[in-house]
A and B are shown apart, each in its own frame.
Chain A
Amino acid sequence: MTNLPQTTSNNPYPAGKGRILQHKGMMIGSLIVIFVMLLAILAPLIAPHDPYYQDLLNRLKPPVWDTRGSWDHILGTDHLGRDYLSRLIYGARISLLIGIGAAMISGIIGTFLGVMAGYFGGRVDMVVTFLITVRLSMPVVLVALAVVAIVGGSLQVVIAVLGLLLWDRFAVVMRSSTLQIRSMDYITAARAVGCSTARILMTEIMPNVVNNLIVIATLEIAHAIILEAALSFLGLGVQPPLPSWGLMVSEGKDMMLFEPWLITIPGVALFALVLSINLLGDGMRDVTAPENRN
């Protein structure tokens, strides 16, 4: 009786390796995201120049593929002679930091409110729904602009402001998916088995809403990155000389007609990062869903 019966060594992990590798969108997205993350983490090692060093004699050098370009500055220099590639690499840090930071703050607020509203219903739900409506009636960019104008723009302020403004989608989605799962029999069974409310929320409800959470989180990371770029473009996001992609677009816009690469390069970087985060989110949803598990 000592040896236990054999169980099938069926992959107990919901996201099987094969399913990840088969998902093309997710592979492309995660490769780009991992690439950008590596750039951000290893920025001091990779960047060919100091992103803050101004070389006024070498202003507005075009990138290497231009006839006037040189390998010394692969992506050229900006209007103050700073190396554009180095600024782009350091800018990845700012974008990712703001995206992930803001999505984490708003994710915690929104998930907490949404799950509470969905699970307890009644008065709790009424209060949360009211808060969501209040939040939805505020225009994000306008409020962010006003707050930053009053408090002063810095990286921390931008993260906090975006984090406190972007929780609405988390709350709405978490509320509706919790509402759906709350009425399932396995929740009643868990209560009958003697589970505490905290345990039900953590082990029965959360695993079933977490794939929605992942999708919303990636959407909101992308959303926060774009909003940061917009705020910086308007001059109220992170302050110069920090190398933010939005700020780079903003600083390059005066030269747009003569030196278009000044805004194309950070623009393409933003586009690629946001697209790949969204691809990754879609892929995560597909891979973790129980439907296609076999």
Chain B
Amino acid sequence: MAEIMIDAKSIVKDFKITKGLFLGKENLRAVDGVSLQVSQGEVLAIVGESGCGKTTLARILLGLLQPDSGSIELCGSKIDQIPRLKLAKTVQPIFQDPYSSLNPRKTIGSIITLPMRVQGEKESTEWTKRAFKTMDLVGLPSRMFNQYPNQLSGGQRQRVAIARALINKPKIVICDEPTSALDVSVQSQILNLLNDLREELNLTYVLISHNLAVVEHMATRVAVMYFGEKVEESETDKLFSNPQHNYTKTLLSSILPPDPRQRSKEN
């Protein structure tokens, strides 16, 4: 049995919404008692429609939001007891929009080396060498080291974001819709890159997506979320061939077959 990397138990997160002047505040339950277990080397996909709490869950797993109740253990220790810098070495995010995830004022080099700088490592040739190695790993030419993000394409930007996430060799990577802002042709490149990196660096992924084709391609297990609750969780093949919950069935039937003739037959 592989080591359990993420062990989250009944996480609840509420947000307070102001309804308007004098109307007081209302609670919005973004995540409602979600439990997850992810073991080493797995790719757990979390699917669900917009606003069902996927991203909130991701932020909680990253330690950026505190859950209102429930407990999270990463690699066997409680998330709120891991020091900030150690947590950063354990779990790293990859965001949806590569246009807002890179600081436009910094060079690619300084974006990629930021995690090393934050960890307090001394700047040296060893440093630069590691940055170049990581750039090579994610398929970025090293000549881009001194360029700025606005000189790069969307796919290249996403590679920079991946390099930043991986340079300190985290154990868990949380990919929040890593391809939905990219071109279709670039999407598959990034997905294959993520798959290769997982094998090479022995990573564990939590993949958040609403693109079921991506999920089928990447995930070993799928959790379906609906209004903040986890309604179903099973192996990828099982879920796609034999969905249990009604919402999952609706979700799966919303996929359009690529062949238009088949599509018209079904209707």
Question: A232 to B165, alpha carbons, bound, how many Å?
Answer: 58
B164 contacts A by Cβ under 8 Å: yes
Pick from B97, B119, B144: contact of A185, CB below 8 A: B97
A24 contacts B by Cβ under 8 Å: no
Most buried by A among B91, B100, B142: B100
Q: Is the CB of A4 within 8 A of B132?
A: yes
Task: Write out the residue numbers on chain A whose beta carbons fall within 8 Å of the beta carbon of B102.
Answer: 186
9-residue interface stretch from A8-16, A144-152, A260-268, A272-280 = A8-16
Closest to A8 in B: B143
9-residue interface stretch from B70-78, B82-90, B207-215, B227-235 = B82-90
- Tell me, rounded to whole Å, the shortest Cβ–Cβ distance linking B139 to chain A: 14
Question: A183 to B115, alpha carbons, bound, how many Å?
Answer: 20
Give the number of chain B interface residues (Cβ < 8 Å): 43
Task: Write out the residue numbers on chain A whose beta carbons fall within 8 Å of the beta carbon of B115.
Answer: 193-194
Closest to A191 in B: B64
Q: Is the CB of B88 within 8 A of A194?
A: yes
A241 contacts B by Cβ under 8 Å: no
Pick from B95, B104, B161: contact of A208, CB below 8 A: B104
A27 contacts B by Cβ under 8 Å: no
Q: Is the CB of A4 within 8 A of B128?
A: yes
Pick from A184, A186, A188, A194: contact of B84, CB below 8 A: A194
Interface residues on A, range: 20 to 34
Q: What 8 A-B pairs are tightest by C-beta distance, nearest first?
A: A194-B88, A185-B101, A5-B142, A207-B105, A7-B145, A185-B95, A185-B100, A186-B103
A190 contacts B by Cβ under 8 Å: yes
B93 contacts A by Cβ under 8 Å: yes
Question: A291 to B151, alpha carbons, bound, how many Å?
Answer: 10
- Tell me, rounded to whole Å, the shortest Cβ–Cβ distance linking B87 to chain A: 7
Pick from B92, B95, B118: contact of A195, CB below 8 A: B118
Question: A199 to B95, alpha carbons, bound, how many Å?
Answer: 21
Task: Write out the residue numbers on chain B whose beta carbons fall within 8 Å of the beta carbon of A184.
Answer: 100-101
Can you give 6 contacting A-B residue pairs, CB < 8 Å? A5-B132, A7-B144, A7-B145, A10-B146, A185-B95, A185-B101
Q: Is the CB of A6 within 8 A of B146?
A: no
Q: Is the CB of B161 within 8 A of A189?
A: yes
Contact residues of A with B, CB < 8 Å?
1, 4-10, 12, 14, 184-186, 188-196, 199, 204, 207-208, 290-291, 293-294
Question: A1 to B129, alpha carbons, bound, how many Å?
Answer: 9
Q: Is the CB of A188 within 8 A of B118?
A: no
Q: Is the CB of B148 within 8 A of A192?
A: no
B114 contacts A by Cβ under 8 Å: yes
Closest to B91 in A: A192
Most buried by A among B95, B103, B118, B146: B103
Q: Is the CB of A14 within 8 A of B105?
A: yes
Q: Is the CB of A193 within 8 A of B146?
A: no
Task: Write out the residue numbers on chain A whose beta carbons fall within 8 Å of the beta carbon of B105.
Answer: 14, 207-208, 290
Q: Is the CB of A194 within 8 A of B85?
A: yes
Task: Write out the residue numbers on chain A whose beta carbons fall within 8 Å of the beta carbon of B125.
Answer: 4
Q: Is the CB of A193 within 8 A of B104?
A: no
Q: Is the CB of B146 within 8 A of A8?
A: yes
Query: Given A192-B92, A194-B119, A195-B118, does the pair A8, B101 have CB atoms closer than 8 Å?
Result: no
